[in-house]
Amino acid sequence: MPEMMGVVENGILTIDSLSKSFGKLQALSRVSFVVRQGSITSVIGPNGAGKTTLFNVVTGHLRADKGDVFFQGNRITNLPPYRVNRRGLSRSFQIVNIFPRFTVFENVHASVISKMRKSSSVVASLQKVGIEETEQILQTVGLSEHARTTAGTLSYGDQRILEIAIALGSRPELLLLDEPTAGMAPEETHSTVELIRRLVAELGLTVLIVEHDMDVVFSISEMIVVLHQGMVLAHGKPEEVRRDEMVQNVYLGEELDPSRKAVP
């Protein structure tokens, strides 16, 4: 497999025949697809399909058994998470992952600063820049008024937004979001979807998202990857995936009905 694969198709992320098992359980089985730069790509599939495992292998939180991950044309397979992050790939987790005793500002500032320390030694002056950047991120995600709030006291929905803000702190080019709207009220879901759209349109980010809410998936995605029992069942534009017979069989027509809300 050539080092620079993925560049050809304007792909920012290329997943090439990735496999991962837990004992006898084959959680990922030769998963391959390319994420186009500047797109929103959704990964869907029933519970246990391997979606979170896929994210964990891509970000280095789990080791791949076989296969490769290329980011911007470079092989990042099995690099440790902090090195994957430094390359420009950042993620949020399925379960809220913040420092609950620190303020909203401190949570994001810590992320901004940790990126800066590595890129320059002029820490004192950069710390000030870090403050501006942190304020900017909080404004982007709509958490400015909560800057001094202790993170653990935020509403659940705002904690999930804070997680996205922390992920933005490392100035990623690719953002992986694992069920960002899970457990949110409809209004929060709507504003989160709008936020994700803005991140792509205004900041030029690429987003790979795991999402159960089919309303969200079909309205937001340029491409959809359907995982089932660790395998790619379908990969295409929303209308192609919606029509796919195998996909309909797996979901029994249920989850593709936009009126159905998935249980997080």
Ligand X SMILES: Nc1ncnc2c1ncn2[C@@H]1O[C@H](COP(=O)(O)OP(=O)(O)OP(=O)(O)O)[C@@H](O)[C@H]1O
Binding site for Mg ion (CB under 5 A): 51-52, 94
Beta bridge partners of 150: 103
Rounded distance, CA 23 to CA 126, Å?
47
- 235 belongs to the binding site for ligand X (CB under 6 A): no
Closer Cβ to ligand X, 25 or 123, answer by number:
25
Nearer to ligand X, 53 or 134 (CB): 53
Which residues, at least 6 apart from 202, have a Cβ–Cβ distance to it below 8 Å?
none
Kindly tell me which residue out of 41, 51, 79, 107 binds ligand X, with binding defined by CB under 6 A.
51
| Candidate segments 50-58, 69-77, 217-225, 241-249, binder of ligand X by CB under 6 A | 50-58
Least Cβ distance, residue 19 to ligand X (angstroms): 12
Cβ partners under 8 Å of residue 36, min gap 6: 9, 10, 11, 12, 206, 222, 223
Q: Contact 16/1 with Cβ under 8 angstroms?
A: yes
Burial of 130 (0-12, 13-18, 19+ CB in 10 A): buried
Judged by CB under 6 A, which of 5, 19, 38, 48 binds ligand X? 48
Give 5's contacts (C-beta < 8 A, 6+ positions apart): 14, 16, 70, 73
Binding residues for ligand X, total number by CB under 6 A: 12
Span interacting with ligand X, options 30-38, 44-52, 137-145, 148-156, rule CB under 6 A: 44-52
Q: How far apart are CA 164 and CA 259, in angstroms?
A: 27
User: Which two structure tokens, joined as six digits, stand for 27?
Assistant: 């959680």
CB of 169 or CB of 230, closer to ligand X: 230
Q: Is 22 in the site for ligand X (CB under 6 A)?
A: yes
- Which of 12, 49, 167, 233: binder of ligand X (CB under 6 A)? 49
Q: Tell me how far apart the alpha carbons of residues 214 and 89 are, in angstroms, rounded to a whole number.
A: 25
Among 24, 47, 148, 187, binds ligand X (CB under 6 A): 47
**Among 22-30, 76-84, 153-161, 166-174, which window interacts with ligand X (CB under 6 A)?**
22-30
Using CA atoms in the order 181, 192, 208, 97, what is the torsion angle rounded to 10 degrees?
Answer: -60
Instruction: Report the partner that residue 25 touches, choosing among Mg ion, ligand X, none (CB closer than 5 to 8 A by kind).
Output: ligand X
130 is an interface residue for ligand X by CB under 6 A: no
Nearest-5° Cα angle at 205, 63 to 180: 65
Footprint of ligand X on 83-102 (CB under 6 A): 94
Do the bridges between strand 40-44 and strand 206-210 make them parallel or antiparallel, or are there none, so unpaired?
parallel
Question: Minimum Å distance from CB 50 to ligand X?
Answer: 4
| Segment lying near ligand X (by CB under 6 A), choices 8-16, 41-49, 110-118, 163-171 | 41-49
Binding residues (CB under 6 A) for ligand X: these are 22, 25, 27, 45, 47-53, 94
